[in-house]
Amino acid sequence: MGYTDHFNFEREPFSNAPNDKFYFDSDQHNQALLRLKYSVDTDKGLAVLVGGVGTGKTTLARRMLDNLPVEKYESSLLVMIHSAITPEWIMSRICVQLGVGKPDPNPLKMLKQLYERLLMIEEEGRKAVVLIDEAQMLQTRELMEEFRGLLNLEIPDKKLLNIIFFGLPELDDIMKLDAPLAQRVAFKYTLKPLSAEESLAYIDHRLQVVNCETSPFSTDALVLIHDFSEGVPRLINTICDNALFEAFLRHNTEVTAEIINSVAEDLGLSAVGLTVAPASEQEDSLDVSLEDIEIVFDGLEEK
């Protein structure tokens, strides 16, 4: 028996494993998707989304992929997990993902194959889209130049390939390795941590997904969760998951502020802003199809 049975949840509500059912459509996530989709639909070429660790970039990339139906788009998501990759390797993976059967080992011939494939996609009335997650791992000028070259694949008045980078804030500096590429960014959006109100809505949303009828978190515990996590969704999940398990071990039916403080101490987290005392000392208490995703790691591929 685990805490899911203890609290009568259908499953763990705060796992950090990707699951589209738990997607939280905050206002900023919705705005980001609208802008990125517009960039693709109007053939802007290059768009960028940046955000801190745990703010939901990968979740958004997968959501974007799911919102590009195959009848209108030829799309793929490449996840960069290692920086030791070459321009030729990147080119070959993009070729394969966009439907080039056997990329030629000669870079110029491979580029010609890709161009012909992009023309075919265009003739079908579809758009070619490549999403690059963890783009901050593309840490060489040669790689940036390679992407600039891909953006040069076009026909009169129209680009044949749309690229979207998802990465940490340092991606801005990496792109400056090739100034002409940095100048080609048509759209950029920055994901920020959730506000206090959004954090509460995020927690409530995930509880609803597992059919929780009554939240086990006390009001002051919820405030502390936002305080310790600073609104970062991944940290919210970690704190909530640990707190629910701690409450289960204590045979408690409520997650209190004392439990949150204990969990945060174990996780090495420091609260910023308000620190909420226990309620007894207060007068008032005050948020991808996997077959389309390719993971790049040490030159190995996992589909």
What is d(CA 298, CA 303) in angstroms, rounded to the nearest whole number? 14
pLDDT, tens digit (0-9, with 9 covering 90-100), for 205-252:
999 999 999 999 999 999 999 999 999 999 999 999 999 999 999 999
Looking at residue 287, its pLDDT comes to: 38
211: phi > 0 → left, psi -120 to 50 → alpha, else beta; which? Answer: left
C-alpha to C-alpha distance for 189 and 33, rounded to whole angstroms? 10
Rounded Cα distance between 13 and 148, Å, is: 41
In this structure, which amino acid lies at residue 61?
Answer: A
Query: How far apart are alpha carbons 44 and 39 in whole angstroms?
Result: 5
Phi-psi region of 273 (alpha: psi -120 to 50; beta: other; left: phi over 0): left
Cα(86)–Cα(133) distance, integer angstroms:
16
Local confidence band at 18 (pLDDT 50, 70, 90 cut-offs): confident
Q: pLDDT tier at 272 (50, 70, 90 boundaries)? A: low
Distance CA 87, CA 147 (A): 9
b/e map 231-243, b = 16+ CB within 10 Å: bbbbbbbbbbbbb
Beta carbons of 193 and 230 less than 8 angstroms apart: yes
pLDDT tens figures, 71-116: 999 999 999 988 788 999 999 999 999 999 899 999 999 999 999 9
Global pTM reads 0.85
Domains of the chain, first to last? 3-12+194-281 (1.10.8.60), 27-193 (3.40.50.300)
